[in-house]
Chains A and B, each alone.
Chain A
Amino acid sequence: MIRAILRAQWLSMRTFRLASSRRGAVFSVVIAVFWYGFWTVLAFAAEALLSSPGLRSEILAWMPLALAGVCAYWQLAPLASATMGASLDLRKLLLYPVPRRALFTVEVLLRITTCAEVLLVLTGAGIGILRNPAFGWRLIGRVPVALALFATFNLLLAAGLRSLIERLLNRRGLREVMALVLMLVGVLPRLLMVTGLPARRISGLFPAGRNPFWPWAATAHMMLGEPARVLPAAATLVIWTAVAYWFGRWQFTRSLRYDVQAAQASVSSMKERSFASGLYRLPSMLLRDPIGALVEKELRCLVRTPRFRLVFVMGFSFGLIVWLPMVLRGRGAHSPLSDNFLAVVSIYALTLLGQVTYWNTFGFDRSAAQLYFLAPVALWRTLAGKNIAAAIFIFLEIGAVSAVCSFLPVGISPGMVAEAFLTAGIATLYLLAIGNLGSVNYPRAMSPQRVGAGGARGRAQGLIFLLYPVALLPVFLAYLARYAFNSQLAFCAILAMAAALGTTVYWMAMESAVSTARQRRETIVAELSSGEGPMISE
């Protein structure tokens, strides 16, 4: 049964039928090679470090904390990156007489998709310890078993956490709060360190982390501890793994019974105030139809899309949480970051918004995107309408960031706010240009409910990763000129050139995107209408 599910997923993932998909698949492979190549290098580094006999005492002292870090990364990285990996599409699989135990086993195995890189590093670390003459191959019976138990514990815990968090994120009203809490949990230690909590007090937490009660410390003791401490450590780790299994099964079973639509049913009793409805109509007062109608439709749809709302909240909260500690660390001293804090956070926010707006602009429309090809409206108007809606949200985001910053001790002036809007606006031109090309070349149906999923296909995300620096380069050059020549005039001149160039690039890209959309309309609609296999890859 498990094999049947995995085979069905494999068959659903075959992308080598179409020439365009073949190119994309090759690109995905290249990106994967880079990503896992990086982690393989880290695994070799871990092996080299841990095989040094001179570091025996340091290894013994720091191994529990290193494993605690691994555990934290394993559980938090998927949340922080908002990509929770592949999972079973239970709506499809529950139709069949598949035992829950089998479904849970597949779900646990799928957790490897979010942290395969950690397994690489752990393998490197394990080999390093065994090759270290200070420990030696006499530990061959302990190290692999301890690491395997530790990995199993993490997989089970990750499966349970994923089920729990996904359910919470699907609850209307709770998801935005949940997202904030999760982000805070991720960055809280750094925030505390740079905002005044004495380093001594933080390092005082280290002995507590080394307590053999914890699973990471138990793993370390089981691998490297004195023979007398191995059995208690192994027992502790087994108990933790059993608890993680119970937690994972419990949460998974609850998710099986969970009704997403019922949880979100409050939309049916949605009582939108006439004030909000009037706001949606504002763009139509300035823009003629069909662009006015398109912008209005986009505003309504995006605001009602849970995933968009989550990213919008992340845009102004996560950006501040990430960058604020760096500014506060300087305690009033001038630095490029503190001088341009608002601009940096604004640019960060607009890049974050990309995954739910401009990178895959037809994604939330899914099969309904065919209306754009069927209606008597030129395609450039459709793209322009969507771009204007994206720009409105980008500027709203920057407005929100500015409002929050005005309450923080980071010295925000009206001039800085104007500069943030201007630079973000110019960067938006380049990002929209690339986004339009990406939207017609790599369209992908996106689920408005699944808040944890990324906005672009793997290959497109790789492309985005490469193109961000290119798109932001003109604005970066303007800032560079200001610092190099210490001249506001140089900054303004380069910014004006960047704006002119951005406008040209935008229109050229628009023409190209429209031409591509005409040629690929069949493929675009097909890709936006396509379903997935028994698993959902995010």
Chain B
Amino acid sequence: MPDSPAIAVRDLRKLYGDKAAVDGVDLVVPRGCFFGFLGPNGAGKSTTIRMLTGLIPPTSGSIELLGMPLAGQELEIKKRIGLVPDESLLFDRLTGAEFLEFVGRMYGLARAVAIERARSLLELFELRESRKLIAEYSKGMRKRLAMAASLIHHPDLFLMDEPFEGVDAVGARLMKDILLDQVRRGATIFLTSHVLEVVERLCDRVAIIDKGRIVREGSMDELRGGTESLEDVFVRVVGAGREFHELEWLK
């Protein structure tokens, strides 16, 4: 179903006890869109992504990815998704090449294909130290490797939680170029980030979530209204009413 949206979420809720981490989210992300999902800490971004990946079940609501219901066709959907989660999914005792090959084979690639793609991805992400174990990678290298792993099976939809966190400027530029290239070929990217300048530069559409609810959604131009920066909009939407109180002893 190529006309269906990449992500269609209806009335999505996740309750922990009587506290709603996600509280009735409706979201439609068209195919080929670079979508930014913003929110302050604890707003429900990671919980939403974890529900989209099937890692945690929603309390209620429905999720459709690439035109298929997540509840019924989980394995089929997972084959077409590339993931960069907030927590590390890297196996420390493998080398980068071994890890990429493993991920490729888990996604159904033939071994020779997985090895070849792993090699070229390591080149692309400048992770050529093939004998180095992942345990010895820096944080930025780990993020780059996680992104390389998300690409190996050529997915149609990327779900990324803070992919640029801890990555240096050169690495971040490389990652952005690769992601933009993926959007140009028709893939959809759903990304969370606290670096609003990056979101502003990359994303076509943005949704802002606060206290588990979507409080703004639209194209970048609609949100900014022509004059404001994304940061101004974000702070106005989620930070209204917050005042800075000086602490006497810190003066």
Interface residues, chain A, CB within 8 Å of chain B?
261, 265, 267-272, 284, 289-290, 292-294, 296-297, 300-302, 304-305, 364-368, 370-371, 373-378, 448, 521-522, 525, 529
Query: Which B residues are CB-close (under 8 A) to A374?
Result: 53-55, 78, 83, 85, 89
B54 and A368 form a contact (CB under 8 A): no
B86-122 vs A, Cβ < 8 Å mask (1 yes, 0 no): 0111111110001001110111100100000000000
Q: B75 an interface residue at 8 Å Cβ cutoff? A: yes
Q: How far is the CB of B172 from chain A (nearest CB, A)?
A: 23
A to B contact number (C-beta, < 8 Å): 99
B94 and A301 form a contact (CB under 8 A): yes
A297 and B88 form a contact (CB under 8 A): no
B93 and A367 form a contact (CB under 8 A): no
A290 and B106 form a contact (CB under 8 A): yes
Q: B236 an interface residue at 8 Å Cβ cutoff? A: no
Contact with B106, one of A272, A293, A522 (Cβ below 8 angstroms): A293
Given contacts A271-B131, A374-B78, A375-B107, contact A448 B93 (CB under 8 A): yes
How many residues in B have their beta carbons less than 8 Å from beta carbons of A? 36
Told that A297-B98, A373-B55, A374-B78 touch, could you supply 13 new A-B pairs with CB distance under 8 A? Answer: A265-B136, A268-B136, A290-B105, A293-B102, A296-B102, A300-B94, A368-B91, A370-B87, A374-B85, A375-B107, A376-B75, A376-B79, A521-B56
B133 and A368 form a contact (CB under 8 A): no
B92 and A448 form a contact (CB under 8 A): yes
A268 and B78 form a contact (CB under 8 A): no
Complex: chain A residue closest to B83, CB-CB: A374
Q: B124 an interface residue at 8 Å Cβ cutoff? A: no
B132 and A268 form a contact (CB under 8 A): yes
Complex: chain A residue closest to B90, CB-CB: A368
Q: How far is the CB of B136 from chain A (nearest CB, A)?
A: 5
B136 and A289 form a contact (CB under 8 A): no
**Alpha-carbon gap, A512 to B53, bound state (A):** 23
B94 and A297 form a contact (CB under 8 A): yes
Q: B243 an interface residue at 8 Å Cβ cutoff? A: no
Contact with A297, one of B54, B85, B102, B111 (Cβ below 8 angstroms): B102
B44-63 vs A, Cβ < 8 Å mask (1 yes, 0 no): 00000010011111000000
Contact with A268, one of B101, B102, B133 (Cβ below 8 angstroms): B133
Query: Which B residues are CB-close (under 8 A) to A448?
Result: 92-93
Most buried by A among B50, B93, B108: B93
Query: Which A residues are CB-close (under 8 A) to B92?
Result: 366, 368, 448
8 smallest A-B Cβ distances: which pairs? Answer: A293-B105, A376-B78, A301-B93, A376-B79, A522-B56, A375-B106, A304-B93, A371-B89
Q: Can you identify 22 A-B contacts, CB atoms within 8 angstroms?
A: A267-B136, A268-B136, A270-B131, A271-B131, A289-B105, A293-B101, A297-B102, A300-B93, A300-B98, A301-B93, A301-B94, A365-B91, A368-B88, A368-B92, A371-B103, A373-B54, A374-B89, A376-B76, A376-B107, A522-B50, A525-B87, A529-B87
Query: Which B residues are CB-close (under 8 A) to A284?
Result: 111
Q: B135 an interface residue at 8 Å Cβ cutoff? A: yes
Query: Which B residues are CB-close (under 8 A) to A364?
Result: 93
Q: How far is the CB of B222 from chain A (nearest CB, A)?
A: 33
Q: How far is the CB of B110 from chain A (nearest CB, A)?
A: 8
B93 and A376 form a contact (CB under 8 A): no
Complex: chain A residue closest to B77, CB-CB: A376
Complex: chain A residue closest to B50, CB-CB: A522
Query: Which B residues are CB-close (under 8 A) to A529?
Result: 87
Contact with A301, one of B75, B91, B103 (Cβ below 8 angstroms): B91
Q: How far is the CB of A360 from chain B (nearest CB, A)?
A: 16
**Alpha-carbon gap, A50 to B52, bound state (A):** 68
B102 and A370 form a contact (CB under 8 A): no
Query: Which A residues are CB-close (under 8 A) to B107?
Result: 375-376
**Alpha-carbon gap, A289 to B108, bound state (A):** 7
Complex: chain B residue closest to A292, CB-CB: B105
Given contacts A267-B133, A376-B79, contact A367 B88 (CB under 8 A): yes
Q: How far is the CB of B60 from chain A (nearest CB, A)?
A: 16
